[in-house]
Copies of this chain bind each other. A is one copy, B any other.
Amino acid sequence: MKRVLVTGASGFVGRHAVEALRMRGFEVHGVGRGGDPAHHPTDLLNPAERRALMDAVRPSHCLHLAWDAEPGRYWTSEANLDWVAASLDLARSFVACGGRRLVVAGTCAEYEWGTPRLHETATPCRPATLYGVAKDGTRRIVEAYARTVGLSVAWGRLFFLYGPGERPGRLVADATCALLAGTPFATSPGHQIRDFLHVADAAGALAALLDSPVAGAVNIGSGKAVPVRTLLDGIALLTGRPDLIAYGARPLGLGEPAAIEADIHRLSDEVGFAPRFDLDAGLADTVAWWRQQTDG
């Protein structure tokens, strides 16, 4: 029997991951905030609560998504250090309770940005942010720990996600809400290239990765990076308000490289995962969802 503990189950990726894992026959135990009665309300930053949960569930698999992801804040937040400690301890109690297969949500921010196409082993990991360093450091330590105890670990490096349920303060959510509300959306010139993936596909990829024996880092992206302008033009087309996007009204953020592109050969060839949504279909799905929210 495959029993999985999903941390961050009520989050943006987590809600979709729970569904994807059920579809694959997993018995899913979620941990989530916000009082969702479907999930355990465990505070994962509390060691006693964390260990009691693991001991009660005794999962064979664990998908660890929980981390501080407060937009604008998480790049430099001290909470990154809390999540390093919690993640290391989670891995240990998982093993102590009989766990065998762990997948953790990593990030493209672990890489040295500025290199053309980010590859799991060929691109150096030289993260520029505390968030990236904390994720990268956790991976290094969890993988070394896993080798000493025979735990199977993979690290799903998420690139840029969008889709239903995205929280305010993130690009696609803010742009879509602004255009649907008829308010201007001030943004950068939009020439930077990013790899965008619909959140349901990201969650599906993580579920497929967990359900595979693939070890180590695996990029989770579309493999088809586009200029941010292409993404926003798509939203403009779907909402009928291209006039509202003010390109260049804001500078590109400090430290934002010209391109962040994922090499997804490991994901497609080794894990065998293919996304359901291309960018047009993904944006259509997303704008339709936001339209429902704002109409409702």
Contacts and interface: CB of A to CB of B under 8 A. Distances in A.
Interface of A: 76, 78, 80-81, 84-85, 88-89, 91-92, 127, 129-130, 133-134, 136-138, 140-141, 143-145, 147-148
Nearest to A131: B144
Contact of A78 (B78, B92, B130, B147): B92
A138 B91 CA distance: 17
Contacts of A138: 137
Contacts of A91: 81
Contacts of A89: 81, 85
Contacts of A88: 81, 84-85
A141 B133 contact: yes
A130 B146 CA distance: 9
Contact of A144 (B92, B129, B141, B148): B129
A136 B130 contact: no
A167 B52 CA distance: 37
Contacts of A144: 127, 129-130, 133-134
A136 B143 CA distance: 13
A145 B92 contact: no
Contact of A85 (B85, B133, B145): B85
A257 to B, nearest CB: 18
Contacts of A80: 141, 145
A112 to B, nearest CB: 13
B141 A137 contact: yes
24 contacts: A76-B148, A78-B92, A80-B141, A80-B145, A81-B88, A81-B89, A81-B92, A81-B141, A84-B85, A84-B88, A85-B85, A85-B88, A85-B89, A127-B144, A130-B141, A130-B144, A130-B145, A130-B148, A133-B140, A133-B144, A134-B144, A137-B138, A137-B140, A140-B140
A110 to B, nearest CB: 11
A252 B84 CA distance: 35
A88 B137 CA distance: 12
A138 B81 CA distance: 10
A74 to B, nearest CB: 12
Nearest to A149: B78
A80 B138 CA distance: 13
A148 B132 CA distance: 13
B130 A134 contact: no
